[in-house]
Amino acid sequence: MTLHDDAVLVLKGYAPESAEGSEGSEDTHGEQAELRQAYLDHLARHDDGVWKACGAGHLTASALVIDPERGKVLLTLHRKLRMWLQMGGHCEPQDASLEAAALREATEESGIAGLTLLPGGPVRLDRHPIPSPCNWHLDVQYAALAPAGAAERISEESLELRWFGYEDVPRVADASVVRLLEATRARL
């Protein structure tokens, strides 16, 4: 099975849960369902829709690294974008699945060995414009659970790594990260 095939299966199986009722959430079941369909349409039109080379945009895989026992998430101060974000990025040829891509990115960017993805597939979807040549990222977002005593190690893609309490995330990160955290906490 190709990564493209895996992505189609993952998205067909993605059942967006409504985050309505979460304090301050703008996310709705309908918006996630529309994004899901837009991602599937993109993949139907572009055989290379999972790869960075696709000029019309491409899927990316990310994971919010979370330590539920401590009530904290690990964010990266992205070197190029200068924003606090979850770990993530482009799919690579060695990635057998979107899950594998998200876990690889989370491990590489956090430096934490032994991360495990929260069961149940993607937590949410987020489409956002990116400077050329990428243009659009169609991000498939997972959550990764940090093992007890996890020690992060900064990568060359980050200016800084820092653990934030759940309540601090809205102060430092944009709304997409806040929505990802809300959706993740709803699944814990």
How far apart, in whole angstroms, are the C-alpha atoms of residue 148 and residue 38?
38
Q: Is 165 helix (H, G, I), strand (E, B) or coil?
A: strand
Q: Dump pLDDT digits (tens) for 1-56.
A: 999 999 999 999 999 864 433 444 445 679 999 999 999 999 999 999 999 999 88
140 has which bridge partners? 61, 125
Q: Dump pLDDT digits (tens) for 147-183.
A: 999 999 998 888 999 999 999 999 999 999 999 999 9
Q: Please tell me the number of Cα atoms within 13 Å of 2 on its side-chain side.
A: 9
